Chains A and B, each alone.
Chain A
Amino acid sequence: MSKILVIAEHLDGKLNSSTARAVSAAAAVKPEAIDVLVLADNVDAIAADAAKIDGVSRVLTVARAENAHPLAAVLAPQIAKAADGYSHVFVPSTTFGKDVAPRAAALLGVAQLSDVMSVEGTHTFKRPIYAGNAIVTVEAEPSHVVVATIRTASWPAAASGANNAPIEALTLDVTLPSHTRFVELKQGASDRPDLQSASKVVSGGRGVGSKENFDIIFKFADKIGAAVGASRAAVDAGYVPSDLQVGQTGKIIAPELYMAIGISGAIQHLTGIKDAGTIVAINKDGEAPIFEVADFGLVGDLFKILPELEAALG
């Protein structure tokens, strides 16, 4: 039978919802037990949150001052040690999980699965490659522990509230390195939603024409409470900084609503938005490839249409 260890992600003493998503994936394996491991300096509030998640059997905590910040070099040896006796170790595929899981896997001497999007069996999984342009089925040998990151966009957060799993403190005999030190975390100061996790995204492309013109995209995004993105062409042209780039080499996003404004729809852009719920395209060229994937297309001048949309929204 399978026993799964889920590594909790947390920030500022709060459990991140990515943890409950990883628990969902763990439940899909139909294991005998799902334990959540909380590595932190102050574990209590985080552990209490984790104990409420449906399907969690136990919450294991390691409270150490060194665990105050999520440094992979510090956490990975503890995860590798705690993994003893488990058939699977699941970590959310966030920057936290992507940083720490491969390091833990290498310490365990095992390969790692990235971005598990579906569970087909205890040791059979599906994951995207080529930015989601192909989906592969991967089989893991049951003789090795399966270390996997869980693609959060593919899994709903497991429900929370009805459970009251026991919380147990764990003592791990591990020497931790001091070669890596946390300096600071600057959290996004913008009032706009974060591009990676926003439910609505409005992106502008080369058709916007200039840095100054991009204000029309920001203004419309603010009107509907959306994050702002951009195509590579717009970034390369210097209209916006590259952290707004959506696409294969930028951010791969899956908002409920994606509005592509003045974006022709190069392949590298389309691969970044293929998991969006609803795609809207506004472009003056009716032949633009973006219309091939758009749920709603509108051909016309974006400088005329955006004010009209704002007016229609009231």
Chain B
Amino acid sequence: MKILVGYKRVVDYNVRIQVKPDGTGVVTDGVKLSANPFDDIALEEALRLREKGVAEEVIVVGIGPADLTAHLRNGLAMGANRAIHVVTAEAMQPLTAARTFQKLIEKEQPGLVILGKQAIDDDANQTGQMLAALWDRPQATFASKVEIADGKATVTREVDAGLETIEVELPAVITSDLRLNEPRFIKLPDIMKAKSKPIDVIEFASLGIDSGDHLKTTHYAAPPKRSKGVMVKDAAELVAALKQKGLL
């Protein structure tokens, strides 16, 4: 079985996001970029399934500009067999990303697609679900445990009410939640090995996808600032202040 893994590059989670003064976007120039944390978890899960013998090949997929290669090399260094780079300079909405994956699925025929439940830049939390719909296959979102046997995946999902377990026939789309696993660290020899692993480059324009971007982001703003509060001198003063606000 092949596993396709979505591997998005985002602004690192430790960067303080700044909105451009003219409201046209957030500052990304010169800012540290990293793999979307949920995508690292997705990749880790795919690698573990391969190590268990459930899958033979793990393919990381990146959609983005020409300089995405270094990022994809990280995915290869983590252990993916090969990478697919869909090249586009345009920012991608989830529906378009899902349509792109759908095209790659037609070619690769994976038994499983694992994506992060959301990317920490647009926080959309949509691509996996949309892909499953377009592919007309099951989805198991927000996964915290995955077991594969007999052509089925049994997936525990983190839902508001608790932990839900569902059984889905393969092929299927799984999206990873935080508790699914702890991604491995990349070791130096793996970085060297990754240099010789193949990256297929596909021009987004060649896929013939209707971008369908009928949602337009027209303005970016900083959130309302929290004003700095007061310092209290001891526990008694704190309790009094919280009681006064009706919080205790």
Interface digits, A61-79 against B, CB 8 Å rule (1 contact, 0 not)? 0000000000111001000
Query: Is the beta-carbon distance between A99 and B139 smaller than 8 angstroms?
Result: yes
A183 CB to nearest chain B CB (Å)? 4
Residue of B nearest to A189 (CB): B162
A305 to B226, CA, bound (A): 25
A67 CB to nearest chain B CB (Å)? 15
* Chain A residues within 8 Å of B37, by CB: 249
Query: Does B42 make an interface contact (CB < 8 A)?
Result: no
Instruction: Please tell me which stretch of B76-84, B189-197, B230-238 contacts chain A, meaning at least 4 of its Cβ atoms lie within 8 angstroms of it.
Output: B230-238
Query: Does A115 make an interface contact (CB < 8 A)?
Result: yes
A294 to B230, CA, bound (A): 8
Query: Does A297 make an interface contact (CB < 8 A)?
Result: yes
Q: How large is the interface on B (under 10, 10 to 19, 20 to 34, 35 or more residues)?
A: 35 or more
A95 CB to nearest chain B CB (Å)? 4
Interface size on A, residues (CB 8 A): 91
Residue of B nearest to A200 (CB): B247
Query: Is the beta-carbon distance between A139 and B167 smaller than 8 angstroms?
Result: no
A200 to B239, CA, bound (A): 14
Residues of A within 8 A of B (CB): 11, 71-73, 76, 94-96, 98-107, 109-115, 124, 128-141, 143-144, 177, 179-188, 194, 196-197, 200, 224, 241-243, 245, 248-250, 256-257, 266-268, 274, 277-280, 291-300, 305, 308-309, 311-313
A68 CB to nearest chain B CB (Å)? 13
- In chain B, positions 177-225 with a C-beta closer than 8 Å to chain A are 178-179, 212-223
* Chain B residues within 8 Å of A106, by CB: 95, 98, 129-131, 133-134
Query: Is the beta-carbon distance between A76 and B133 smaller than 8 angstroms?
Result: yes
Query: Is the beta-carbon distance between B217 and A136 smaller than 8 angstroms?
Result: yes
Query: Can you offer 10 A-B residue contacts whose CB atoms are under 8 A?
Result: A94-B160, A99-B141, A102-B125, A103-B133, A128-B123, A137-B221, A177-B138, A186-B162, A243-B178, A279-B229
* Chain A residues within 8 Å of B221, by CB: 134-137
Query: Is the beta-carbon distance between A297 and B220 smaller than 8 angstroms?
Result: no
Q: A183 touches which one: B95, B162, B165 (CB < 8 A)? A: B165
Interface centre among B120, B129, B138, B222 (most CB of A within 10 A): B129
Residue of B nearest to A146 (CB): B215
Looking at chain A's contact residues, the main secondary structure is: mixed
A137 to B142, CA, bound (A): 27
B103 CB to nearest chain A CB (Å)? 14
Residue of B nearest to A251 (CB): B178
Query: Is the beta-carbon distance between B217 and A312 smaller than 8 angstroms?
Result: no
Query: Is the beta-carbon distance between B217 and A185 smaller than 8 angstroms?
Result: no
Q: A294 touches which one: B129, B167, B229 (CB < 8 A)? A: B229
A297 to B217, CA, bound (A): 38
Query: Is the beta-carbon distance between A137 and B218 smaller than 8 angstroms?
Result: yes
Query: Is the beta-carbon distance between B142 and A95 smaller than 8 angstroms?
Result: yes
Query: Does B57 make an interface contact (CB < 8 A)?
Result: no
* Chain A residues within 8 Å of B228, by CB: 291-294
* Chain B residues within 8 Å of A277, by CB: 247
- In chain B, positions 142-176 with a C-beta closer than 8 Å to chain A are 142, 154, 157-169, 172
